[in-house]
Amino acid sequence: MEEAYFFMLSFLVLPFLYLIYNSFKSYNPPLPPGPIPWPVLGNFYSINTMDHVSLANLATKHGPLMLLREGLQYLVIGSSSTAAIEILKTKDRVFSARAVPNSVPLTRSEIDQLSFWADASCENLKNIRKMCRAELFSSKALESQELLREKKITEMVELLRTKDGLVVNLEKCVYATVFNMFANAFFSRDLVRLEEEGSDNPVKGLLRGIIGAIGAPNLSDAYPFLSKLDLQGVRKKHRELSMRVHALWEPIVKERRKRTRGGLSHQDFLDTLLDKGFTDYQINKLLEELVSAGIDTTTSTINRTIVELINNPESMKKLQEELDTEFNQGRRICPGLPMGTKIVPAVIASLVYFLDWSLPHGNDPAIYQKLRATSHLVEPLLLIPKSRKE
Ligand code: HEM
């Protein structure tokens, strides 16, 4: 009797187990090659810096599509233009979701309500992208910001002219110029001084801190069961930095809410957000994500182009072509690219047209080839300007 019972049970259970096994099999397609991971640790040892050079070295060994393990997480890295087109364009729908790093101090519902971290299929994100396209990045909006951009560039060139023959930190100067271009598009005023006292612009430190927190190797990402603990304090640090960034414009938002805009013809991005009924919290998050996504990308493209130009004037042409053709479709395509492609060539062209550049005595140009994992130059970009055109 017992035997018959056991037989019946096996008869029912085995097909069930087989179905489970099959479903696992079909959801686990073969993975790309990569360096052999250590148990539990994964490939932390071979990706200690994760900069472009170590990744390029790994790719020469394992191919343009490779697999790394960060703790318990899989990381697939595409490193050829064919892989990039496949991921960002051909299979764009499959790859349009984001793995949100644990350091982002937002709940899932906050992300879905108002954040570029939301899935591309999220209706709110589609609406934000649509609004930014219309109000910030459309030809009309960019044209209306044209005079302000020119003014900021003129101020930068004029300041550099006063430094004729002296060593300047060009990176710092470009950062303040681009930041104020954003500030003028958002609030119709500057937020930082072009010539800050001290070694660096404090705003740059805040935004770089946020980007660093997002990109930092984090135990909470590698081992999701630890996520609540925030052992490295990265989420806490991100939250604190966000609050300090919001404090830069909170008084402006407060003051603008009080103001009745009767008869005021100029409409900046803040006016648009207020007209659309955005809360202070929503304004803070949206502007923070726009400045952290837009300023570093733009300024590091400018700095690195200047470095290339110093080494090889042909590089400028190549880079412009790359900017012209960069990924023209897709759900995750950078919405700010129309703005970036206005700012980057205008700043570079002005720096090169109005000024000649040389390296401080004894500086080897190779020191400016070293980049951090976040693509920033390791060394401050110290150069000597010399006026060449009035
Ligand atoms: C040379 C300049 C720029 C470059 C190279 C660049 C590059 C990129 C890239 C590659 C992405 C996609 C990242 C991903 O899929 O994970 C992206 C996304 C994004 N960029 Fe840019 N960007 C530039 C300028 C800007 C500017 C000026 C802004 C805003 C004012 C901006 C705002 C954004 C935002 C909000 C996203 C997220 C979009 C989404 O996920 O829906 N970017 N950018």
Residue 292 CB–ligand 1 contact under 6 Å: no
Helix (H) or strand (E) segment spanning residue 20: helix 2-27
Regarding whether 182 and 56 lie in a shared domain, the answer is no
- pLDDT for 23 equals 46
Place 286 in a pLDDT band, splitting at 50, 70 and 90: very high
Two tokens at 310? Answer: 């110093």
Residue 344: CB within 6 Å of ligand 1?
yes
The answer to whether residues 326 and 295 belong to one domain is yes
CB-ligand 1 contact for 290 (6 Å cutoff): yes
41 within domain boundaries: yes
Residue 298 in contact with ligand 1 by CB distance below 6 A:
yes
Ligand 1 site, residue 142, Cβ cutoff 6 A? no
The reply to whether 168 and 252 lie within a common domain is yes
pLDDT of residue 324: 61
The sign of the torsion formed by the CA atoms of 28, 34, 35, 41 equals: negative
pLDDT of residue 92: 86
pLDDT at 316 over 90: no
Q: Same structural domain for residues 30 and 173? A: no
Tens-place pLDDT, residues 16-68: 444 444 444 445 668 999 998 888 888 876 665 666 777 888 899 999 999 99
Domain assignment of residue 3, yes or no: no
Q: What spacing in Å lies between the alpha carbon of 297 and ligand 1's midpoint?
A: 7
Which of 86, 107, 128 represents a domain boundary (last residue)? 107
> Do 100 and 184 fall into the same domain?
no
Task: Indicate the DSSP class of residue 225.
Answer: G
Q: Of the ranges 17-31, 60-74, 148-162, 356-370, which one carries the lowest mean pLDDT score?
A: 17-31
Report the alpha-carbon distance of residue 319 to residue 20 in Å, rounded: 51
Range of the domain at 71: 23-107
Judged against a pLDDT cut of 70, whether residue 290 lies above it is answered with: yes
Please tell me which residue, 126 or 262, carries the higher pLDDT value.
126
Q: Find the helix or strand (DSSP H, E) in which 244 lies.
A: helix 234-258
* Ligand 1 contacts CB of residue 340 (under 6 A): yes
Lowest mean pLDDT among 5-14, 119-128, 188-197, 219-228: 5-14
**255 versus 53: which is more confidently predicted?**
255
**Does residue 161 register a pLDDT over 90?**
yes
What Rg, from alpha-carbon coordinates, does the chain have? 25
Q: Residue 4 domain-assigned? A: no
Top-confidence residue, 73 or 280: 280
Please say if the pLDDT value at position 283 is more than 60.
Answer: yes
Q: How many residues comprise the chain? A: 390
pLDDT of residue 374: 61
Q: Domain ends where: 107, 123, 144? A: 107
Terminal Cα-to-Cα distance of the chain (whole angstroms)? 103
Asked if 128 and 100 sit in the same domain, the reply is no
Phi-psi region of 263 (alpha: psi -120 to 50; beta: other; left: phi over 0): left
Q: How far is it, in rounded angstroms, from Cα 128 to Cα 114?
A: 8
Q: Which residues of 377-390 are buried (b: 16+ CB within 10 A; e: fewer)?
A: beeebbbbbeeeee
Query: Closest residue (by CA) to atom 36 of ligand 1?
Result: 334
Instruction: For residues 277-303, give the mean pLDDT.
Output: 94
Pocket test for ligand 1, best of 269, 297, 300 (most atoms within 8 A of CB): 297
87 with 138, same domain: the answer is no
Residue 123: pLDDT above 70? Answer: yes
145 occurs within a structural domain: yes
Burial of 12 per CB tally in 10 Å (0-12, 13-18, 19+):
exposed
118 inside domain: yes
Residues 86 and 157 in one domain: no
Q: Report how many domains make up the chain.
A: 2
Angstrom CA distances, 233 to 105, 227, 301, 361, 363, stand at 11, 11, 30, 42, 38
Q: 57 and 142 share a domain?
A: no
Check whether 78 has a pLDDT greater than 50: yes
Protein residue closest via CA to atom 21 of ligand 1: 334
Does 332 contact ligand 1 (Cβ within 6 A)?
Answer: yes
Ligand 1 touching residue 333 (CB < 6 A): no
Residue 112 pLDDT = 92
CATH number at residue 133: 1.10.630.10
Q: What is the DSSP string of 306-323?
A: HHHHHH-THHHHHHHHHH
Say if 5 falls within a structural domain: no
Show which of 107, 132, 163 is a domain's final residue: 107
Task: Say which residue the tokens 């909006």 belong to.
Answer: 141
Lowest mean pLDDT among 25-34, 298-307, 365-374: 365-374
Q: Are residues 44 and 69 in the same domain?
A: yes
Residues 92 and 116 in one domain: no
200 vs 208: CA distance, rounded Å:
12
CB 337 within 8 A of CB 326: yes
CA-to-CA distance for 319 and 147, rounded, in angstroms?
25
Candidates 50, 86, 41, 47; CA nearest to 214 is: 50
Say which residues have a Cβ less than 8 Å from residue 54's Cβ, sequence separation at least 6: 46, 47, 48
Q: What is the mean pLDDT of residues 319-341?
A: 73
Distance 39 CA to ligand 1 centre (A): 35
Residues 103 and 113 in one domain: no
Asked if pLDDT for residue 178 goes beyond 90, the answer is yes
pTM for the model: 0.84
